Amino acid sequence: MAVPNFKLNNGVTVPALGFGTYAAEGTVGKGAMRKPVTTALEIGYRHLDCACIYRNEDEIGEGLRDFLINNPSVKREDIFVTTKVWVHLFEPEDVEWSLNASLKDLGLDYVDCLLLHWPFAAERTEDYEVKRNSEGKYIIKQSLTEDHKPTWTAMEKLCNSGKTRSIGVSNFRIEHLDNLLRFATIKPVMNQVEIHPYLPNTELLEYCWSHDILPVAYSPLGSQENVTERLMEDKNLMEIATTKGVSLAQLLISWGIKRGYAVLPKSANPERVKNNFHFVGLSDSEFEAVQKVAKGRHTRMVNPSFFGHNMWPEESA
């Protein structure tokens, strides 16, 4: 089946299946993301998820340019590109600096969406690096962690300037979104968060849908790093996929899209990149079988507490 699109609250459309570029498997060393990006675009991906903190946007830009040069029928506007502002760049003037740096590295005049990467802010050094304490943890900037209005106003200004078509957030909890919506003149179009059967995040999803904010799932296949439970080894899910005649990755990607959000699998392995680019129709019984596995689960695989800010203190209490 063709990969569907979602319409954002500003009328812009985004492909439901994107290509994640964070530390993708196999991307070790300078220049390692250039070819995987070109390969993904050749396979059919039209949604690239990037961030300044990934430190590979120059390589992504090279891969994108390689593809566009060799595929003149595809235009820049056919590809949805997201980038993100890291937490030490939340001062209004630094938000613009961050986007300008990303645009320069990507070789683009605009991005399709600019996100705040996390809902907490940190101090920065004079050379625009994160300021850390003696333990190596981020020095949190409480003022902009507690009040997102100055940062969001800067985001809105960039949206109005045309440097980004849309603005949104990532890793925002319901209380963060509630506060943001009280003063936002431009609503966030999306909230990119961790979602998979071991962390279905149903309450947050329902909040986003009710406020016309598209959820976007990172780590939709779980994580292979620093976790005790590996989603891709779940016997119940593997049985559902085998019975369906699809890979487990294809099952999880299709389950996420059928739930109503975009998904961002990542890999630099050409075969896996190709395998992941499949949306298969799930019957109600197949969908509910995955839902049954997800019911009551709450295993978070991405937690930035080592940054010096605990996003989910109730989970570590």
In whole angstroms, give the CA distance from residue 94 to residue 97: 5
> For 37-58, what is each residue's pLDDT tens digit?
999 999 999 999 999 999 999 9
Average pLDDT of the residues of the chain = 95
> For 254-293, what is each residue's pLDDT tens digit?
999 999 999 999 998 999 999 999 999 999 999 999 999 9
Residue 246 pLDDT > 80: yes
pLDDT-derived band at 11 (thresholds 50, 70, 90) equals very high
Residue 302's pLDDT is what? 87
Residue 66 pLDDT > 80: yes
Mean pLDDT across 127-145: 96
In whole angstroms, give the CA distance from residue 158 to residue 188: 13
Mean pLDDT across 204-220: 98
Residue 15's pLDDT is what? 99
Residue of 22, 45, 54, 218 marked active site: 54
Residue 304's pLDDT is what? 75
In whole angstroms, give the CA distance from residue 131 to residue 123: 5
Mean pLDDT across 21-27: 64
Residue 25 pLDDT > 50: no
CB-count burial class (<10 Å; 0-12, 13-18, 19+) for 238: middle
Residue, of 198 and 304, whose pLDDT is higher: 198
In whole angstroms, give the CA distance from residue 288 to residue 171: 26
pLDDT-derived band at 308 (thresholds 50, 70, 90) equals confident
> For 83-110, what is each residue's pLDDT tens digit?
999 999 999 999 999 999 999 999 999 9
Domain boundaries, the chain: 14-302
pLDDT-derived band at 26 (thresholds 50, 70, 90) equals very low
**Percentage of the chain lying above the pLDDT 90 cut:** 87
pLDDT-derived band at 145 (thresholds 50, 70, 90) equals very high
Q: Where are the beta strands (DSSP E) in the chain?
A: 5-7, 13-15, 19-20, 47-49, 80-85, 113-116, 167-170, 190-194, 214-218, 262-264
Write the CB contacts of 38 (distance below 8 Å, at least 6 apart in sequence). 63, 64, 66, 67
pTM of the predicted protein model: 0.96
Residue 117 is assigned to a ligand binding site: yes
Angle between helices 284-294 and 248-259 (to 10 degrees): 90
Residue 125 pLDDT > 80: yes
Query: Is 54 considered catalytic here?
Result: yes
Q: Are strands 5-7 and 13-15 parallel, antiparallel or unpaired?
A: antiparallel
CATH fold for domain 14-302: TIM Barrel (3.20.20)
